Amino acid sequence: MRVRFAPSPTGNLHIGSVRTALFNWVYAHKIKGKVVLRIEDTDLKRSEPQFETNILEGLKWLGLDMDEGPESPGDTGPYRQSERMETSFYKSYVDQLLTDGKAYYCFETAEELEAEKEAAELSGVAYQYSGKALSLSPEEIKSKLDLGTSYTVRFHIPENQKVTVPDMIRGDVVFDSDLLSDFIIQKSDGSPTYNFAVVVDDITMAISHVIRGEDHLSNTPRQILLYEALNAKVPQFAHLPIILGPDRSKLSKRHGAKSVTEYREEGYLADTLINYLSLLGWAPPEGREILTRTELVDLFDIGRVSKSGAVFDVTKLKWMNGMYIRRLSEEALLEAVTPFISEDLQSKLVKYSDSQRQAMVVAVRDNLELLSDVNAYLEVFSLSFEAYCTKIAALSFSESDIKVQQLAYDAIDSSSDLDSQFVGTLLDDIIEQTGLGKGKVFKPLRLATSGFGSGPALGDYIPILGKDVVLERLRHGLSKGAN
């Protein structure tokens, strides 16, 4: 049992490709098979080394390890189509089809073919190649070849045939061969076309299951005819539903269709993307949403993949990322957020000990949706007294606010140990003494001690700020008086 992920290095690894890679990876683990990475770089003009590097790095960051590929070669390489072309790998299969009479030379110029297309367009019919080259005699073909006339090679579509695509998601999808045009399998420069190269690659790599996006479904009948013409076993297919934006149009950059590296740089966790993308087109039993990779493999059933398009929702993705951030251990959380802390903020936090900095990160964890949010929430620990005063200059406090702040000041001033337990008891005592609700107690204390209207829990950040800083801020707040 072998599946493959076959990206083209004409751009960075994007969300749609990752979803395809993920479903192949999960299915391979489910069926105890292998997943092969193949770089489809037959488009030499648009393929770039940096894009291949981006693909490899993205897969590595996501933890989608490949059993075979450019970096882990096996017995079925090479794993770049360009390397296969260098050894005339595909030509032997073209020659086989020519010998069997299932393909033929085509000598029309680009201008002649364009004229055919324009005539079909004017007639209001779908373009199909005229088959003009089929009328050439063997002698005429030899003469043109001897003269060095430029040519392509076309595959001859059998007539009056129903081509059935065995799809594990959609069931059998039937195409009429008479609606398919004889297509080019070898370009004039000798390179293979996409439809031909992928079939030869899948045959020689012993691919048993092809899992890819539904945009490839229209290519599949042509590829099945090639498998049959080459006397090869047809793999099982599964065409994944398209990913849609919230407006149900095709996912684009305006919906959040960014590269994987962009998501990483924004502060998403790899596990978040894996979990979220697994739910685009597939639903686990009992409607569960947060799944470990092991659970994902155990629960995965390709029969539960939907035929309908799956909506990509950035809001839900951020929510899920927050859930995963809160699942990190304290050590893993600190390691994850540290690269996102700005140099300026780090310079302001050096006065704290390592344990205090770790406690800060833990304190703000519940506020984070993205790792990059950490700067905004850690600011509470970095404010100078002058910056704090500027922040609360426009604030006004009521009489009840002042009373709450005074009670807090008196208790903290006489305390010897300002820890989270003390702060919790203090808040309970103020609520009991004043008869005010939590909101009426927590809000004025948060504003007076931090300068912010929201952020980490009072019991988490007050002990880190320390007694002197907290008292200094409370004195300033009290000095403003009630308004």
Q: Please count the other Cβ atoms lying within 10 Å of the Cβ belonging to residue 306.
A: 13
Tell me the two tokens of residue 269: 């966790």
d(CA 446, CA 439): 10
Edge-to-edge strand ranges of the sheet holding 183-186:
103-106, 152-155, 183-186
The answer to whether the CB of 307 falls within 8 A of the CB of 170 is yes
Render 90-156 in DSSP notation, one character per residue: THHHHHHHHHTTSEEEE---HHHHHHHHHHHHHHTS------GGGG--HHHHHHHHHTT---EEEE-
What are the C-alpha distances in Å from 322 to residues 273, 279, 287, 316, 317? 12, 17, 19, 10, 9
Render 227-293 in DSSP notation, one character per residue: HHHTT-PPPEEEEEPPEE-TTSSBP-GGGT--BHHHHHHHT--HHHHHHHHHTSSB--GGG-----H
d(CA 373, CA 363): 13
Instruction: Considering only CA atoms, give the Rg of the chain.
Output: 32
| Annotation says 316 is catalytic | no
What are the C-alpha distances in Å from 399 to residues 45, 380, 438, 450? 73, 25, 16, 19
Marked catalytic residue, from 60, 132, 233, 253:
253
Tell me the two tokens of residue 316: 């839900």
Q: Please count the other Cβ atoms lying within 10 Å of the Cβ belonging to residue 339.
A: 10
Which residue numbers are catalytic?
253
